[in-house]
Amino acid sequence: MNSKKYQAALFDMDGLLLDSESVYTNVTQHIVSEWGKTFDWEVKQHMIGRASIDSARFLVKTLDLPITGEEYLERRDPMLEEGFKSVPALLGAEALIRELHSKNIPISVATSSSRFFFNLKTAPHDWFSLFNAVVTSSHPEVKNAKPAPDIFLTAAKTLGMDPSDCLVFEDAPSGLTAAHAAGAGCVCVPDVMMPKAPYSNAELVISNLTEFNASEWF
């Protein structure tokens, strides 16, 4: 039983609420295969949850690609745009959001996606209208990407909450670091392929959102 009760919830989106990580993976593999390279979890585990340009530069350097991070993004983004139009929800995501909304728990999206990509991904999912706030990487107060705490501090502020009263939901180690840097608690739902060690200091680690018992935490 969890001892602390939280007052609000902040949600990452990619790989946590929506299965958009598979689109990133497929598009990235398509691009790097041009140079005979493989994009696997040895590389991806260091990229998820980070700013696009940071991830792109890491990828280019790690796989020794003959392009810059910026050039990689120029190739990638039009392909992502198409894939993001039909991204499915992950198990338990919609039900949890509806439950928290019904209990009048303030909820915010806090995603490293741009506002443009957020709109594309969420268009088929009407339950995103239940969020009290949406904070993306396009927000002017988000100066630094995860693992910096900016996005969670901004989301908490937008809800009118103290960060220490917020419970963050994340799938990425960088998001966990950002949540704790903001002073918030963090529930992690790692991809099955991710090593578990980076999540050792999370308040809770679960395999999908159906395992989360809201009444214990709020």
Q: How many domains does the chain have?
A: 2
> Taking Cα atoms as reference points, which of 24, 137, 15 lies closest to residue 80?
24
- Rounded-to-integer distance, Cα 13 and Cα 209, Å: 12
Average pLDDT over residues 90-113: 97
Res 51: pLDDT: 82
Domain holding 150: CATH number? 3.40.50.1000
In a domain, 140, yes or no: yes
Residues 209 and 102 in one domain: yes
- As a whole number, the mean pLDDT across the chain is 94
Other CB atoms closer than 10 Å to residue 208's CB: what's the count? Answer: 12
Q: Model confidence at 136, in pLDDT bands (50, 70, 90)?
A: very high
Going by C-beta distance under 8 Å and a sequence separation of 6 or more, which residues neighbour residue 188? Answer: 169, 170, 171, 175, 176, 199, 202, 204, 205, 206
Average pLDDT over residues 25-35: 95
Checking if the pLDDT of 1 tops 60, the result is no
In a domain, 1, yes or no: no
Average pLDDT over residues 20-38: 94
Choice among 19-33, 40-54, 74-88, 116-130 with the minimum mean pLDDT: 40-54
Domain that holds residue 184: 8-19+88-217
In a domain, 145, yes or no: yes
pTM here is: 0.92
Question: Which H or E run contains 43?
Answer: helix 41-44
In a domain, 2, yes or no: no
Q: Model confidence at 158, in pLDDT bands (50, 70, 90)?
A: very high
* Residues recognised as catalytic: 12, 14
Residues 26 and 15 in one domain: no
Question: Which of the listed residues 35, 66, 85 is the one where a domain comes to its end?
Answer: 85
